[in-house]
Amino acid sequence: MFPAARITDMHLCPMSSGPVPHVGGPILPPGAPTILIMALPAARVTDLCACVGRPDVIVRESATVMIMNLPAARVLDNCAHGGMIVIPGAPTVLIGG
């Protein structure tokens, strides 16, 4: 089980655009605006993340927890650019497999 990911939680991105590293950034709104985790909207698969290049997207998620008809995102879930969502996320809300 891993901490739930929310809007504004950070992701890392290992890609670069020529000499400029992407580094990553926050998960972008809107997420799931009606599902609040520690006062922030829940993040799900297909939600976008800020990145120096084009926006990144969450691609690996919980296979068992659905939020507004999309799988829930968690800390350490993968993003399309090859990075992942990083800690802390919501340490009091754990989401399994």
pLDDT digits (tens, 9 = 90+) for 73-91: 999 999 999 999 999 999 9
CATH number, position 86: 2.60.200.60
- The model's pTM is 0.91
Count of domains observed in the chain: 1
pLDDT per position as a tens digit, 10-67: 999 999 888 989 999 999 999 999 999 999 999 999 999 999 988 999 998 788 999 9
Measured torsion, CA atoms of residues 54, 60, 63, 66, in degrees rounded to the nearest 10? -30
Q: How far is CA 12 from each of CA 33, 43, 65, 67, rounded to the nearest angstrom?
A: 23, 15, 23, 23
List the structure tokens of 27: 């998960």
Q: Which domain holds residue 20?
A: 2-95
- CB count in 10 Å sphere of residue 54: 12
Number of helices (H) and strands (E) in the chain: give both, helices first.
0, 11
List the structure tokens of 48: 């976008």
